[in-house]
Chains A and B, each alone.
Chain A
């Protein structure tokens, strides 16, 4: 049999290249390109009263200066509303360069094209833009109060209100023996990839075509936007995502103004043009996420069974709303987690503020929802004096209730329906992994030493692999190389390895022979993108289906050549052979050659495919009806709806009694994403997610002041966890296959980050006895809480 590769810890094939400096990122390309820099708004909200370039135009090396007025008509239109929704009644999107008004610090006002970035920045410094400042709207509650408006024609700052309800909330709440109300806050953060945004474009004047490399999570969609705004035939625009140094959601946003302006400038000047952001502009001009305030009312019985759940929350989407309502819709559904809640009402408003625009960041609304739900469950446990895991267990949807349809609509417009999952088993694994029952003894031991330690946990369910579709192309070359392409792009997830494992297993070829290309419209033009933990589910299945087509075709051709039945054949290590008698065989590469009837040979194998090489049916065309030359296959995977992964995290923290510093002592993860393609890559995804979860819980926040100035727009002040702050992560897996797709897999990319704030808040609460209702929490904030608590206790 072929070496089994699916499910194996195959080392990432891309790592040697990436770790030895041979990655090719946008900034590694086109060293001859002109570079651009932008004059960006220093104000959160202002009218532009003048732009003076008098002192700027004499700078040696300047190519061009552009303002909104200088753009062609199509480019003057607002950027697209990417995901419309009937409830999104007041959508506003930005212009590629500000028109009359700026709505957040960092909004691009003037573009400078110059010989290099140094010159471009010098020119930027000499351009004087005058503004008439307007009152800035900063903070969720300020926006809701609507004393001032971000956009004049949206006086209440509300872009959308959406309510979903199941059951009879009012009656169930009224009848509930216990009720609790909570307010729960999550602050803003951002994806903060190592590589920021970047785009480089080359215009081929003879061919009248454009080649664009962008650090994006969706090259096909960027291409569509470029073709549309530059009014070019799609066929004349290629878009490629080269190596991308992390995306985490921020690069699913598109088209960035620069993704249109740079190609336009390249065409205008017939010269390559490049934009690579610097860290400061990434902080203020690349999208954020997370900021939400939630009000929860829960009704429950004496056993902690939730009878009614009423949630209202405000979502701060920043200055514009290009990505629609995806984030708050995810919060409003995924909040339910693994719990069977039959009377539920959720209402949100999505609000404009004069801050950076909000679009998904890894987790995309789920960390907030998980925080709201899990803190609520802990509050119930506290109210009833019961163990927190018991309350969870009492509310789980049971395995025999799967598939479970809540009766809500999910972010893909499809039913919010869990396909599979075994939540009680996940909890059992977690309890034993962290030794939940043994913790009391550990706590007492620590207490005796004057140490404050606590344990917390959080559960989540994650809708992954959202549609509409992805495709895969598998081609066996006459030399035996297997070329695999899929349209979505890669930002470090190990697709070159995972997809190769799938093809290797499906096709029976050595993995060394398989080459995977992602995110290149020259190789595959139909795709959606890499987000929502969907690449493995969507492209993985599409590639598997394509490989199965190739396998079928290969067996059919080989059967003819060997004069056996296809059913008796198998492919082992790149050789098609008769099962049970492997000496009757034909190399797959020869099959590939034979699949393409030739007139002209190029080597010895090829001679066998030429017209006089073998007897043929004189009445059959060389390429039979319904067939195509070449050993290749394309297929698509388009699921009816998302597949739902789940997991639970437990964490033990220690709070320094003097400084209130929080140290994570243990962090345990139990994770169920269906069948696992590569456990090592999966663990890497979980580790990275947990690291971001720790960041979101204890360090990261976007510190806007009341004027809308981001005060921590550098890594000096925006804190991210180092290796020193990320604990050793203990991981256990459960594999509950998805019934929705051929490989039985579910997504795993975002999982690690989701329960971080909820679990860590629970552990801090357990250690200190204080209600932790707002995250992230800094040592100073925790210290204040503890001091306030002590003052109340001893008046």
Chain B
């Protein structure tokens, strides 16, 4: 499944870049995000609750940022697995300075597997681009300083400024953790890679 689109932020490229790479921001903006754990340099494990219709579940997804060329482009590799299915995705993200802000172009190449692939893949795809806006809007609000600031739970070794391995970021308490279909789809399409994971569900290794 390929999903491509773009979103223009009213913020300079560096700020957008920072936001999209800030686990705290992502934890707050990623639809359905329960927690986002830093597992290494540019590596995160995300726990997301999401569902399409009756296919719901809590997933953990792993994402890794690669080919970083700040503040212009990066690639996010995401993989996840859970009851509803699996996803392996590569998201190419490009930040282009435009008049009055930054345009983020995203191109998702995802293999969606399992149950979720067999029911409503077309729904996912069709609604994705529109709903990805939800994620971007949330980031936009972050950039505008409107969002509630929530302290992360840094690991003992961590410092608030620079996320360290083991840091876990959580979104502010919300009435319900569940996301609806549109959010899930938003997550999928989410140009920024991370939201993708929302749907995806974490891939974990047998331990």
Q: Which residues of A contact B (CB under 8 A)?
A: 40, 42-44, 49-52, 54, 105, 121, 124-125, 128-130, 133, 280, 283-284, 705, 707, 709-714, 716-717
Contact = CB atoms under 8 A, between A and B. Distances in A.
Contact of A716 (B82, B117, B120, B205): B120
Given A42-B81, A42-B113, A54 B207 contact: yes
Given A52-B207, A714-B119, A709 B113 contact: yes
Contact of A105 (B57, B114, B207): B114
B203 interface: yes
Given A42-B114, A50-B205, A716-B119, 12 more contacts: A50-B206, A54-B207, A105-B114, A121-B83, A130-B204, A280-B118, A280-B119, A284-B118, A711-B121, A713-B119, A714-B120, A717-B120
30 contacts: A42-B85, A42-B114, A42-B117, A52-B204, A52-B207, A105-B114, A105-B117, A105-B118, A121-B83, A124-B83, A125-B82, A128-B204, A128-B206, A130-B81, A133-B88, A280-B115, A283-B118, A284-B118, A705-B117, A709-B112, A709-B113, A709-B118, A709-B121, A711-B122, A712-B118, A713-B115, A713-B117, A713-B118, A714-B119, A716-B120
A128 B204 CA distance: 7
A40 to B, nearest CB: 8
Q: Which 5 A-B pairs have the closest CB atoms?
A: A713-B118, A50-B206, A42-B114, A125-B83, A42-B113
Contact of A709 (B111, B120, B206): B111
B86 interface: yes
Interface in B174-207: 203-207
A318 B113 CA distance: 18
A711 B125 CA distance: 12
Contact of B113 (A51, A54, A283, A707): A707
B118 A43 contact: no
Nearest to B84: A125
A714 B118 contact: yes
Given A284-B118, A714-B119, A105 B206 contact: no
A705 B118 CA distance: 10
A129 B114 CA distance: 13
Nearest to B58: A125
Interface of B: 1, 57, 81-83, 85-86, 88, 111-115, 117-122, 203-207
Contacts of B57: 125
Contact of B111 (A125, A707, A710): A707
A73 to B, nearest CB: 25
Contacts of A121: 83
A713 B122 CA distance: 12
Nearest to A708: B113
A254 to B, nearest CB: 24
B2 to A, nearest CB: 11
B207 A710 contact: no
Contacts of B117: 42, 105, 705, 709-711, 713
B3 to A, nearest CB: 14
A711 B111 CA distance: 11
Contacts of A710: 117-118
Nearest to A43: B113
B34 to A, nearest CB: 15
B118 A128 contact: no
Contacts of B114: 40, 42, 105
B122 A717 contact: yes
A51 B57 CA distance: 19
A510 to B, nearest CB: 51
Contacts of A128: 81, 204, 206
A278 to B, nearest CB: 10
A43 B119 contact: no
A196 B86 CA distance: 25
A44 B114 CA distance: 9
Nearest to B55: A280
A461 to B, nearest CB: 37
Contacts of A52: 204, 206-207
B149 to A, nearest CB: 33
B86 A42 contact: yes
Contact of B206 (A124, A125, A130, A717): A130
Contacts of A713: 115, 117-119
Given A42-B85, A105-B113, A133-B88, A51 B118 contact: no
A470 B82 CA distance: 48
B206 A711 contact: no
Contacts of A49: 206
Contacts of B118: 105, 280, 283-284, 709-714
Contacts of A130: 81, 203-206
A712 B115 CA distance: 10
A280 B55 CA distance: 11
Contacts of A133: 88
Contacts of B86: 42-43
Nearest to A133: B88
B190 to A, nearest CB: 21
Nearest to B59: A125
Contacts of B81: 42, 128-130
A126 to B, nearest CB: 8
Most B CB within 10 A of own CB, among A51, A54, A105? A105
Contacts of B85: 42
A49 B203 CA distance: 13
A42 B201 CA distance: 13
Contacts of B206: 49-52, 128, 130
Nearest to A712: B118
A130 to B, nearest CB: 5
B77 to A, nearest CB: 13
A50 B112 CA distance: 20
B48 to A, nearest CB: 14
A712 B85 CA distance: 15
A52 B111 CA distance: 23
A128 B114 CA distance: 13
Contacts of B207: 52, 54
A1 to B, nearest CB: 59
B202 to A, nearest CB: 9
Contacts of A42: 81, 85-86, 113-115, 117
Contacts of B205: 50, 130
A339 to B, nearest CB: 41
Contacts of A54: 207
B172 to A, nearest CB: 27
Nearest to B123: A716
B185 to A, nearest CB: 16
Nearest to B114: A42
